[in-house]
Structure 1
Amino acid sequence: MSEEEVRNPAAAPAAVTRRYAGFWMRFWAYLADLLITAAVSGILLSPLRIFTDAGAVEIGYWTVAGILGSIIFYLYFLLMTRFFGQTLGKMIFGLKVISEDGGKLTWRDLLFREVVGRFLHRAFAILALLYLVVAFSPEKQGIHDMIGNTRVVFAE
């Protein structure tokens, strides 16, 4: 504590209380985000599929449309969280992503949370079950939150 805070306890900063968002609130927000990303992908990729038949063009195991859809998915989560601190689904349900220390979200934190963490959950189906970690961790963190040093809280 500073000397001013010792002399005048009212000058001390108020303790920050955070209400962490639990599994079900985050689940519904994620479902809303999935609907939004599916709609955006459909709108953006429809002309590509109609005019070039890119949905049928294969690159190894993937199709061009699948790759572009994945890019839209990851960019949506990355950019919305970076610039607004929340996706549209989180906005609907009043949730916000914050950094572990309460400071500004960094690109590094977000790349690990939104790209690496989500990729692991989506690439390996069994790892999708790890979303349940949110229900049991003290600060309601998922594996992708732990990787990215973030928390999801109720917006004030």
Structure 2
Amino acid sequence: MNRDDEQRTEENVHNERPFSEDQIRTNHTIVDLEKEASTSNQQNLEDKETLASNQTLELTNNHQQVDLYAYAGFWIRFCAYIIDVLVIVSLRQLVISPIVGFLGVEQNSGMFSVQNILSALVFYLYFVLMTKYFNQTLGKMIFGLKVIPLKETRLSWQTVIFREWIGRYISATIIILYIFVAFSPKKQGVHDYFADTTVIHENYLLKNASVS
């Protein structure tokens, strides 16, 4: 090979080398873009799978939570209420009669008589205080029943007052409204609907909670 041929060969190699390097860089760029696209698609797929898994888990937990509750029906709540009435009658005899006798107030049957006002206070305070601090009255304790809120983590004063004062006054005024307990899905009375509460079997709840 003469000198001219060698010079032409070197020039061709020199001219081809930049083109080859540019092509390599372009290929690397295409590969990188494909990798990024593949990683992004995989991440999106994993996010969708995680979201679906969380939704399934949430639905399962909600279903299990509902299954934990055994709602107390009409008759067992009626029996608990009878016991509470007997307790209230006893409290009236222990508290109201001595006060009325001490004050020398004449006992009469008027709606706004001192005796009736004190009797109403004893009646409603009994239900309000027992439900607020124990979630159950003495009658409910005997039968293993408990009042729970449906939209709160614990019973607030507002909920208890709506249930045990306003709602119970309406139910006590129109006695037939108590029959709602027998037909509602969660065994709620009118006073339960007012306060978003219901009554459950406490022992059944504790038994299932300990198993789970």
**C-alpha displacement of 1:61:** 3.2
**Which of the pair is proportionally richer in helix?**
2
Whole-Å separation in 2 of the counterparts to 1:55 and 1:112: 33
Instruction: Determine helix, strand or coil for the equivalent of 2:93.
Output: helix
Structure 2-normalised TM-score?
Answer: 0.63
Partner in structure 2 of residue 90 of structure 1: 140
Whole-Å separation in 2 of the counterparts to 1:25 and 1:55: 39
Asked if structure 2 preserves the Cα contact closer than 8 Å seen for 1:80 and 1:86, the reply is yes
- Letter paired with 2:76: M
**Which of 156, 165, 174 pairs up with 1:115?**
165
Partner in structure 2 of residue 106 of structure 1: 156
Higher relative contact order (CA 8 A, sep 6+): 1
Structure 1-normalised TM-score?
Answer: 0.84
Greater gyration radius: 2
Partner in structure 1 of residue 202 of structure 2: 155
**Which of the pair is proportionally richer in strand?**
1
- Letter paired with 2:148: I
Residue 62, structure 1, aligned to residue 127, structure 2:
no
Partner in structure 1 of residue 3 of structure 2: none
4+ runs deviating over 3 angstroms:
none
**Unaligned regions of 5+ residues in structure 2, if any?**
1-49, 204-212
Report % sequence identity: 42
Residue 35, structure 1, aligned to residue 86, structure 2:
yes
Whole-Å separation in 1 of the counterparts to 2:184 and 2:81: 18
**C-alpha displacement of 1:25:** 0.6
Q: What's the Cα RMSD here? A: 2.3
**Unaligned regions of 5+ residues in structure 1, if any?**
none
Q: Given the superposition, is the C-alpha separation of residues 128 and 57 from structure 1 closer, same or farther in structure 2, using an over 3 Å criterion?
A: closer
Instruction: Determine helix, strand or coil for the equivalent of 2:178.
Output: helix
Q: For this pair of structures, how many residues does the alignment match?
A: 147
**C-alpha displacement of 1:71:** 0.4
**C-alpha displacement of 1:19:** 0.2
